[in-house]
């Protein structure tokens, strides 16, 4: 059995042609899938024998809502989805004045080991399929009744650790016959996997690259992000400069402010030096307190921001949404895994 929603329109059309069907059938099936059909029987413009043949060869993914939390503070919705194999992933829907943004996961768990992140504590279980990424956008839209205009690949997992599939997802979600979300409305966040950044640069996609930097020097970065031992801060900054030169697109640097670790004026000065010549943007994130971590939120965010700005660096402080629903960084999935919360 083949996962049909992970197939592109061209691949579905080819498969149908091989089954003796006319070319336009592919588009019909693709459209049904990306509107949320969960069985071939729903595809009323296909003949019954064709629907039967399709269900013998292909299956259609559809996650179940294992849990849904709506923030009383700002309307942020957090979904915990149960996948066909029983694994759970998180998706968050955030409403901004410019539209609704959905934050999706790319893996079940993560193996990057960042010290401040709840998603990585139990490691990686498996990669997601392209269909499971599409489903997060599709079923969030259908369940909430809200249209999604922007996607950020900033949920659980490291997109560069599942890059072939992430690229396939981008092609699918971009398709005018599918969800039709333009690259300019998509951000991809990486903890700093240099070969992935170079591969993305080659492709020259119009998406926004976010780099989870969190420290400008390798000594600090290695303490909190094991990926720095594979690709250190120098290599990462070089890759970012190459990316900018190739694509002309500004990079967004994520920087979670951690008390006494990465929040000194000297680190702000070094950060400003490192990104000189590259019109980047620094996004300062108030650290989300993760129960399992000893790292604590910094109280120097405003001072750090000022210091960066004194060097001409654009820095914003991320508004925290969904503070009452554990809407960040793998916290809901962890609670569900440990049964720490009564239903
Ligand atoms: N693996 C990718 C995408 C997922 S993490 C990456 O590392 O970029 C999404 C963002 O949340 C990253 O910038 C990550 O560093 C940040 N993050 C993780 N745990 C956090 C925490 N406790 N507080 C604030 N930001 C956190």
If you measure from the C-alpha of residue 49 to the centroid of ligand 1, how many angstroms do you get, rounded to a whole number?
48
pLDDT on residue 292: 80
Residue 17 CA neighbour count, 13 Å, CB half: 9
pLDDT on residue 331: 62
pLDDT (average), residues 50-64: 98
Q: Give yes or no for residue 158 CB within 6 A of ligand 1.
A: yes
Lowest mean pLDDT among 25-34, 85-94, 158-167, 275-284: 275-284
Q: Is the pLDDT of residue 341 over 80?
A: no
Determine which residue's CA is closest to atom 19 belonging to ligand 1: 117
pLDDT on residue 343: 32
pLDDT on residue 5: 98
19's tokens: 């089954």
Q: Give yes or no for residue 329 CB within 6 A of ligand 1.
A: yes
Give the residue numbers annotated as catalytic, written as ranges: 90, 329
- What kind and span of H or E run contains 321? none
Q: Is the pLDDT of residue 245 over 50?
A: yes
pLDDT on residue 183: 97
Q: Give yes or no for residue 190 CB within 6 A of ligand 1.
A: yes
Determine which residue's CA is closest to atom 11 belonging to ligand 1: 329
Length of the chain: 343
pLDDT (average), residues 274-278: 91
pLDDT (average), residues 134-162: 97
E-assigned strand segments in the chain: 2-3, 58-59, 64-70, 77-82, 88-96, 99-103, 107-109, 124-127, 150-153, 186-190, 208-212, 252-257, 281-286, 315-317
If you measure from the C-alpha of residue 158 to the centroid of ligand 1, how many angstroms do you get, rounded to a whole number?
10
Q: Sorting pLDDT into bands at 50, 70 and 90, what band is 322?
A: confident
pLDDT (average), residues 182-186: 97
Q: Give yes or no for residue 116 CB within 6 A of ligand 1.
A: yes
Cα separation values, 1 from 34, 42, 60, 108, 178, Å: 19, 19, 10, 22, 22
Q: Give yes or no for residue 154 CB within 6 A of ligand 1.
A: yes
Q: Give yes or no for residue 256 CB within 6 A of ligand 1.
A: yes
If you measure from the C-alpha of residue 96 to the centroid of ligand 1, how many angstroms do you get, rounded to a whole number?
20
pLDDT on residue 96: 85
Non-local (6+) Cβ contacts of 121 within 8 A are 292, 330, 334
262's tokens: 């990465």
Cα separation values, 145 from 46, 137, 178, 253, 258, Å: 27, 12, 17, 32, 37
Q: Is the pLDDT of residue 342 over 60?
A: no
pLDDT on residue 340: 45
pLDDT on residue 35: 98
If you measure from the C-alpha of residue 102 to the centroid of ligand 1, how many angstroms do you get, rounded to a whole number?
15
Mutate to test the pocket of ligand 1, among 188, 197, 212 (most ligand atoms within 8 A of CB): 212
Q: Provide φ and ψ at 96, rounded to 5°.
A: -120, 170
pLDDT on residue 334: 67
Portion of the chain with pLDDT greater than 90, in percent: 87
Q: pLDDT (tens digit, 9 = 90+) per residue, 208-225? A: 999 999 999 999 999 999
Rg of the chain taking only CA atoms, in angstroms:
21
Q: Provide φ and ψ at 78, rounded to 5°.
A: -115, 125
Q: pLDDT (tens digit, 9 = 90+) per residue, 323-338? A: 777 656 556 676 666 6
Which residues on adjacent β-strands are paired with residue 81? 65, 89
| pLDDT, the chain, mean | 94
Q: pLDDT (tens digit, 9 = 90+) per residue, 100-138? A: 999 999 999 999 999 999 999 999 999 999 999 999 999
Distance separating alpha carbons of residues 262 and 129, to the nearest angstrom:
35
How is 254-281 classified by DSSP, letter by letter? EEEEBTTTS-SHHHHHHHHHHTTTS--E
pLDDT (average), residues 167-192: 98
Of 129, 22, 67, whose CA–CA distance to 341 is shortest? Answer: 67
Q: Sorting pLDDT into bands at 50, 70 and 90, what band is 87?
A: very high
Atom of ligand 1 nearest to the CA of 289: 22
Portion of the chain with pLDDT greater than 70, in percent: 95
If you measure from the C-alpha of residue 190 to the centroid of ligand 1, how many angstroms do you get, rounded to a whole number?
9
Q: Is the pLDDT of residue 162 over 50?
A: yes
pLDDT (average), residues 266-276: 96
């Amino acid at each position: 059995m083949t996962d049909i929603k992970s197939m592109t329109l061209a691949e579905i059309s080819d498969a149908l042609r091989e089954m003796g069907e006319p070319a336009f059938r592919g588009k019909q099936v693709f459209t049904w899938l990306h509107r949320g059909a969960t069985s071939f029987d729903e595809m009323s413009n296909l003949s019954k024998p064709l629907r039967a043949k399709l269900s013998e060869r292909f299956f259609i993914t559809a996650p179940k809502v294992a849990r849904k939390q709506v923030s009383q503070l700002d309307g942020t919705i957090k979904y915990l989805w149960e996948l066909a194999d029983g694994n759970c992933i998180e998706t968050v829907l955030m409403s901004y004045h410019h539209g609704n943004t959905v934050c999706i996961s790319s893996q079940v768990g993560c193996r990057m080991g960042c010290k401040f992140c709840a998603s990585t504590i139990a490691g990686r279980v498996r990669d997601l399929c392209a269909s499971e990424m599409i489903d997060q956008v599709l079923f969030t839209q259908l369940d909430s009744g809200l249209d999604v205009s922007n996607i950020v690949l900033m949920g659980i997992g490291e997109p560069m650790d599942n890059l072939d599939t992430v690229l396939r997802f981008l092609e699918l979600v971009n398709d005018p016959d599918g969800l039709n979300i333009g690259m300019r409305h998509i951000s991809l966040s990486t903890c700093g996997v240099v070969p992935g950044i170079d591969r993305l640069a080659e492709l020259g996609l119009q998406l926004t690259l976010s780099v989870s930097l969190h420290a400008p020097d390798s000594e600090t970065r290695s303490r909190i992000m094991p990926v720095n031992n594979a690709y250190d801060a120098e290599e990462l900054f070089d890759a970012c400069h190459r990316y900018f030169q190739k694509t002309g697109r500004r990079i967004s640097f994520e920087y979670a402010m951690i008390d006494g670790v990465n929040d000194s004026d000297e680190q702000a000065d070094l950060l400003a030096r490192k990104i000189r010549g590259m019109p980047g943007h620094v996004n300062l994130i108030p650290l989300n307190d993760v129960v399992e971590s000893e790292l604590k939120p910094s109280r120097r965010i405003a001072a750090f921001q000022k210091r960066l700005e004194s060097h001409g660096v654009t820095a914003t402080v991320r508004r925290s949404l969904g503070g009452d629903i554990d809407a960040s960084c793998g916290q809901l999935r962890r609670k569900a895994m440990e049964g720490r919360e009564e239903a």
